[in-house]
Structures are given as C-alpha cells and as structure tokens.
Amino acid sequence: MNIRRVLFPAVILAISLSIALPSPVEAGLPALMDNQTLPSLAPMLERATPAVVNIATESRIASRRNPLLEDPVFRHFFNIPDQQLERKAQSVGSGVVVDAQRGYIITNHHVVEGADTITVTLRDGRKLNAKVIGSDSQSDVAVIQIPSSNLTALPLADTDNLRVGDFVVAVGNPFGLGQTVTSGIVSALGRTGLGIQGYEDFIQTDASINPGNSGGALLNLRGELVGINTAIIAPGGGNVGIGFAIPANMVARLMNQIVAHGSVRRGQLGVSVQDLTPDLARAFNIPASQGAVIAQVSPRSAAARAGLREGDVVLNINGRPIRDGSALRNAIGLVEVNEAVRLDILRDGKALTLDAKLGEYAPIRVDGKTVHPQLVGATLEEIGLNSPLAGRVQGVLVAEVESRSPAARTGLRKGDVILAMNQQRVTNPTDLQQLAASSNTLLINLLRGQEELVLALH
C-alpha cells in the first residue's frame, strides 16, 4: 500500500499537444428548469473558498557530496574550504484561515516543516508572508499567521456528528494549479494504523485529493470545516478515490495548545495497550466487543496513581467510546498535561470508573555529539510506552536532525530508529554512548520505514 502525503514540489511541466483544441466557450446549466432551481454548491463555495489559501514554501537543503570531502584531514591536506553546498527546494500546499481576527491559518506540519520562507496567496490574489506559530509532527498539524486584514475564516464543524455517507467538498491547490474544488462523500471514519503519523483518527473520503492539497479544507454542505486534507493512498502516484483528512475536532484541540504554548503538551497516562479481541474477551469472561486492554502500567505514572491495573479493559474516556488501542492512544493524545480524564473500565467483568490526572512524560534524550562527532545535530530518544513504535520496534528513535548538520550529512533522518550499534542491540540512548566509548568506528543498523539500512561512522 503506497500512502502519500499530498504536498507537491513546485515543478513546471511543459506539455506539447499534437491536436488542436477548440476555443473555450461559455457553458453551464440554466439556473431554472421547469421553474425549479437546480441544486448547486456554488453559493456555499462563494462564501467558503476565500478562507482556503495556497501556500508556497522555500527552503535550503544541504547537497550530498563525496564522503572524502567530509574528512577534515583530507580537506586540510588539499586546502579545500570547509563549506557546505546547498540547493533551494520549493513546494506548494494549502491552508485554511480559521481565525480572521488574528490571522491564524491551519495547515499540515509537513507543508511548512523546514521552510525558510512561507508565502500565502489568498483567493483575491494577495500574497502575504507568513510565520510559523507552532506545529506538531505527531499529528501533522501546524498553525501559521499572516497579517489580519480583510480575511475570511471558516467555522469548524462538530465532527462527532459526522456520518459515513455525508457529502463533503475538498478545496485546495492540487499540483500547484491554484484553488480547485472536488466533491464526494465520507467513505469511513476513525481510520487508524496507516503509519502516516503518530496520532491517527482520519476521515476517509472519495473527494479527489492530489499532491498540493495538503493542508486544504474538507467542507460539509454548510461550508463548515470538517477536516484538514493530509494524505492519499496512491498506488500509481495519483488519486484513486482514497483520501484522508484530520477531523476538525482534533484540529481545534491541537490548535488551542499550539497557539498557547507553541507546541502540543500531551499528557501521559503511562500504559501500553492492545486491542480487545474476541479471544481476549472470552479469556477475560467479559461481554464487551470493543475496547483497549491495559497490557502494562508504568510505575509512578498517572495510570498507577489512578489505580489502573494490567488486564483492565478501557471502554470509555470522558464518556467517549474506545474502540481499540489506537482510539485510546488518540484520546489521551488530545489531553493536555495536568488535565483530568475519567475512564470507564471493566475489571474481572465488573464495571468501574477511575479518574486520572495526566502527567508529563520526559523521555530519556541525548545529544548526538555525546555519541560521535558525525552525529552532531541529532537528538536521540528512547521509545516510550506511548510511542506508536512501542511494542513493535526495539531501538533508539532519531527524534530530531538539524539541517546542514554533520548528522544530516551522514544520512541520518528524523524518524529513523537505531536498532543496533557494532552488531549489538540497543534499547536506549545510554546504550549508544557506552558502545561508542569503546570504539572509534561505528556500524549502525537503522530502520527507516520498512527498510533496514547500515551506516558506517569513522
């Protein structure tokens, strides 16, 4: 399955047609037929589309060069200047004005990640420079800001009331063409486990979404924002009618935190979970058909203080049903540090209600420079219980990689997982420091997506 985010690199294609095209003519349905007004989305779109913007970004990316040129001894011997070649990268995406008074625009994190300049083009043709207020890579949501003059904002729908079969309209900037509208229906709700991002609770739609639609609007027929278009399944590289959007309710909660803190401060329950399968339900002798089973409780965590135990089945959080482990993780991921949650659980077949005040999780982190000179610019982090990798991968997460840093030039990327060093398995950043201290040459086994790689550091 080829899942693609729908950010579009700004490339101009010149296409020569061998046939003559007819001149464009005015065409359209009459406004009235048999004295009845024909249905049209035009009135709603005339109100809503001024709030959907095109976003163009420009960034500088370090160019790869011969590994010999990275060796300081080699550079010194041949008197080669210590400078890094760069190239400019441009891309286009979309965004939605959600606060006209303050000029706030919601878009995807991957649209503005690493951008040196961000230019927003409004429906009326105005081009404005934008600044990033904050973003969250785990949910792929970002908030940017433009001068707040004569802006139109979209109201947010309550997506708890969204149903499969509801008509929706996607608005964005596909392939950099400019604002484009497509329509379809809600195909499914609560899509998780796609591996696109850390927190997933997607709306699936067959409204056509293509590269460049990232950060654009998914609207209902009232012109309310129901989702932020984010990704597509694209076996052939284009749209096949399976697109995904982040629900507006999730966006609203994340935006509030980003505006207040510049980032999302997620509370931590301190558990690892698994889905409640029919076999587990029979083993626990409980009637529930869906829920999340507590597999592990961290000592001194919010869950431990609330009295949660291994084997408990979580059915609801703050009154909202929990279908599976991913739903529990998403629900907790929207709750801020020090906020309280109410959990309805089953324990030994009996219903209980527990209250937990979520704490703040501080993973073990080390600076890459404490491991090896070629890892300067990387931040290495343990895989915690609440990570989407927990229970699936054992290793050390590359949490950040600064652009144009030695770690970036080595080939390390954000999201990589270090599985082993010098053929010895690692589980936390301290393991890396200890192994690196005993050898000058390091052989690193990496997991990148589904692919395993090897890096040699000298």
Q: Which residues are catalytic?
A: 110, 140, 214
The DSSP string of 109-161 is: HHHHTT-SEEEEE-TTS-EEE-EEEEEETTTTEEEEE---SS---PPBP-GGG
Closest CA to 254 of 322, 205, 198: 198
Q: How many CB atoms lie within 10 A of CB 186?
A: 23
**312: which residues sit within 8 A by CB, 6+ positions away?**
293, 294, 345, 346, 347
Question: Given phi > 0 = left and psi -120 to 50 = alpha, else beta, which region is 270?
Answer: left
| Max Cα distance, the chain (Å) | 87
Q: How far is CA 435 from the centre of its chain?
A: 33
* 347 three-class SS: strand
**255: which residues sit within 8 A by CB, 6+ positions away?**
98, 104, 106, 141, 143
Class of residue 236 by CB neighbours under 10 A (exposed 0-12, middle 13-18, buried 19+)? exposed
